[in-house]
Amino acid sequence: MKKFDPALRDARNRALGRKGEERIFLDEKASLRAAGRADLPCAVRRVSEEDGDGAGYDIRSFDLAGRERLI
């Protein structure tokens, strides 16, 4: 029988979450570039990485009109 390790599970979950955030972050930047909004990709931020995890969202992006979009 395999022993349950909650610390290992938590570490794996955190790593998976970071990979997911990174994927969305890169996709947001690419989508804005592809839509012709070359001015916006540089303003997309991974808030959870830069400011900490307490903002209530992980990524600050923009819609095509330039309005803030919190993901």
pTM across the whole model: 0.86
Q: How far apart are CA 71 and CA 66, in angstroms?
A: 15
Please write the tens of the pLDDT for every residue from 16-56. 999 999 999 999 999 999 999 999 999 999 999 999 989 99
Predicted local distance difference test score (pLDDT) of residue 1: 77
Give me 65's structure tokens. Answer: 């009109």
Predicted local distance difference test score (pLDDT) of residue 2: 80
Predicted local distance difference test score (pLDDT) of residue 61: 98
The 3-class secondary structure across 5-63, one letter per residue, is: CHHHHHHHHHHHHHHHHHHHHHHHHHHHHHCCCCCCHHHCEEHHHHCCCCCCCCEEEEC
In the sheet with 45-46, reading across from the earlier edge strand, the strands are 45-46, 59-62, 68-70
